[in-house]
Chain A
């Protein structure tokens, strides 16, 4: 059994909030360069050039790449051999978020009750997902999620008879509806199966995968490739002004489901897929 004071988690979360906002990861910026090589629209190329310049400028000047520094989603994987002491871990995560957003000059975008809409002033609370893993480590992933793209996410309970065709059409419709609003080229997370909330969570988790990495499940990997091809034929292009690169990648995560259902969740991420991970 490893004893771990939760205080260390606060500091880690603070640091990750700032880093994720300032620095678009190298593998994401590489997607911009790769798209420049294949994009047919001159205007879309100009826009991709701006994204590269923006990423470089933000990282070298220590400012957020986007003014929407998001609502913070935290994925916490706790080793079964870890014994947590100190203040409740949720409190420490939220304290870390509040510190990071204050010190990093990040925009506080969280409002209290969805209908009252009073800014909490700290960008808290975060949305926290817990999981247990083997071992004596704690893995923390911080994903500041902007709402230009989050607003365009969608969910459907399809009929089993709708099959892969129905799944493809629903995803295509969702991306078409998102159009220019979600800041394409997009990263698309797909959650397939489980129950309603399980599918939604899978679609969010799918966005943690690195670009270019296919699912280890053959059926899902095939669907990913089909969807990348299909969505890039929509013509939406970078920022929706027309082009041949509408998605950078599509990630499918699946789970067994009920005989009567085919849940499909689509979580959309803008061109700046940002998250940071730390293992403690």
Chain B
């Protein structure tokens, strides 16, 4: 597999040249935030008019690490399900965030916002947390230390492996990949009715 390299500081052009389905090795700064940090950041923006970090040109990795054992920089830190952050994401993209790394489906609002703002959504391998934590070279808590694993962190990663799922043109690997290897036509039944009107609908 040929991997593309993405090195910080990334430019808008770097991000818009990413293509759905590409494997990427990321080196640079990522902010780490999940459910509670997103809720708090959004509250802060609504009340104070700014986020606890400047999202312009940055990226967020959705993860809540396990505690760091003695001698380690961070505990295992794999991606968490991105869909829970959907409601907070368009505001961050409108404010200059370049891309997100997580796992799982995004809402149509998020996909629209990715396209509109020239952003990208990537996935890291869910469950490969021990392996992924090896790519994290440093970490510090930026805000909300009381949230423990849900605190807002700033990471420096080296050759962090991710796959581009949704690119700035709205191509979605979760749909395209599935279509490519699909051997039945049973669900997305409405879809099926249109595309395969004569096929038997049971598997």
Contact = CB atoms under 8 A, between A and B. Distances in A.
Interface of A: 40-43, 46-47, 50-51, 53-54, 57-58, 61-69, 105-109, 117, 119, 148, 151, 165, 168-169, 172-173, 176, 179-181, 183, 229-230, 233-237, 239-244, 270-272
Interface string B45-72: 0000000000000000001111111001
Interface stretch (B4-12, B89-97, B171-179): B171-179
A34 B165 CA distance: 26
A150 to B, nearest CB: 11
B113 interface: no
Given A54-B131, A148-B80, A179 B104 contact: yes
Interface stretch (B119-127, B137-145, B152-160): B119-127
Contacts of A65: 76, 127, 129-130
A235 B78 contact: no
Contacts of B161: 50
A157 B53 CA distance: 48
B33 to A, nearest CB: 14
Contacts of A229: 203
B134 A57 contact: yes
Given A46-B1, A237-B177, A242-B177, A58 B123 contact: no
Contacts of B42: none
Secondary structure call for the A interface: loop
Contacts of B195: none
Contact of B178 (A119, A168, A183, A237): A237
A66 B130 CA distance: 6
A148 B126 contact: yes
B128 interface: yes
B27 interface: no
A41 B129 contact: no
3 tightest A-B contacts by CB? A242-B177, A235-B182, A181-B104
Contacts of A119: 148
17 contacts: A46-B23, A50-B128, A51-B127, A58-B76, A63-B66, A63-B75, A66-B127, A67-B64, A67-B65, A106-B66, A172-B186, A173-B187, A235-B179, A235-B180, A241-B165, A243-B181, A244-B183
